[in-house]
Amino acid sequence: MGSIKYHACALTFFAAASGASAQSSVTLYGSIDEALAYYNNTGHASVLQLQNAAFQSSYWGLQGNEDLGGELKAIFALESGFDVTSGQLQNGGRLFGRKAYVGLASSGLGTVTLGRQYDPTVDLVQGITADSYGPAFATPGDADNNDGTVWIDNAIKYASPTYAGFQYELMYALGGVAGSISSGHTYSAAALYNNGGLSLAAGYLFAKNDGPNGAGSADLTQNNSVTPLFGSVGMVGSRQIAQVAVQYVVGNLTANARYSNAQYKPYLNYGAFNRTQTFNIAGTSLGYQLTPAALLAIGYNYTKSSGDSSATYHTVAATSSYGLSKRTTFYATAAYSHASGTTFSADGATLVPAGGTVGDLTSSSGTPNQVALIIGIVHKF
């Protein structure tokens, strides 16, 4: 779950800057999540396995800043995702596949960052949705990027200061294609408003992947059979995602609801997939903080696809977590997904029956139903 970051335990270095009072710092941080997971059907059979990042992401990172004076700071971040089960790098084997940016930050003017980073919808909308309870609560296949599985290369992003509870972000990512400014580009905008226990957010993302095998500034979405071309064939086309969310916190109870519309437009004819595929998604959840250490949450997600293929997914998830300390948490999650209708084969050439899919945790089921039972541990540093 890409947008949740914890800096619970940090190693920080301070140095004086040229005899002035300004300081610089570098912080090491991260999270390790490993679980034992059972799926009644993934592909065509049941499985019991160790699973990475079933509740939060596994990653390590470095972030730093240098005080330049006049409320201006130079900042950077490098963040690397990894699979605890195998020790392998994630994000296509990139060393810093989650974040790699440098920029300037001003408390009065806002922040500009350059490099590989999340788009504004992940920064401002995702945090007030049920995805905060784990990927089992997110959209099947992460069709609308609710679980933050898409990162953006070559991105220029501006984040505003907070004005009376309101903040916004704007982003444009260069495609880097000679002779075509728009080829491979990505742009996004989002806004968030907080007032007491009420939070409202909305965002929009457009990504054009029109290069060879779907190359572009935005990562492709290829999690499982919910989305078109989930296999080795990259989608040459574009995606646009619009989403809104609301959250209300009263006492120990947190309630939220969201809606998103995602459209996948192919620029080539893949056989069965030759026109825009649309996903309409609605989700809601309730979380209750039983004690400062114990949390209970339940959520429901409805996903409907239409276009060349038509499928409906109903997913219910429940989780409980208990913090042994500020850094170590145990969790248990149970989820059930039921699918009906048709989806695409891996290469988009034919239509096949849709399979139950719990978030973007594993491959879709070979039957209409999928059950997930997960117990794990998270350690933050």
DSSP state of 108: T
Domain assignment present for residue 190? The answer is yes
Q: Which of 170, 184, 79 is nearest to 123 (CA)?
A: 170
End-to-end CA gap in the chain: 17
- The structural domain count of the chain equals 1
As given in the structure block, the two tokens for residue 227 are: 């989305």
The pLDDT of residue 60 is: 98
Q: Are strands 294-306 and 277-289 parallel, antiparallel or unpaired?
A: antiparallel
Count of C-beta atoms within a 10 Å radius of residue 240: 16
The pLDDT of residue 22 is: 62
- Give dist(CA 135, CA 76) in Å, integer: 28
Domain assignment present for residue 4? The answer is no
The pLDDT of residue 185 is: 98
The structure's pTM equals: 0.92
- Give dist(CA 7, CA 10) in Å, integer: 6
Give the helix, strand, coil percentages of the chain, each rounded to 5.
5, 55, 35
Q: Could you give phi then psi for residue 175, rounded to 5 degrees?
A: -75, -30
If the chain, 381 residues long, is cut into consecutive pieces of 10 residues, what is the mean pLDDT of each piece? 40 39 88 98 96 97 97 97 97 96 97 98 98 97 98 98 98 95 97 98 98 97 95 96 98 98 98 98 98 98 98 98 97 98 97 98 98 98 97
Full residue range of the structural domain in which residue 128 is found:
11-380
Domain assignment present for residue 2? The answer is no
Q: Angle at CA 89, nearest 5°, toward 235 and 137?
A: 65
- Give dist(CA 234, CA 110) in Å, integer: 36
Domain assignment present for residue 1? The answer is no
Q: How many residues does the chain have?
A: 381
Domain assignment present for residue 253? The answer is yes
The pLDDT of residue 19 is: 38
Domain assignment present for residue 5? The answer is no
The pLDDT of residue 18 is: 39
Domain assignment present for residue 3? The answer is no
CATH code assigned at 198: 2.40.160.10
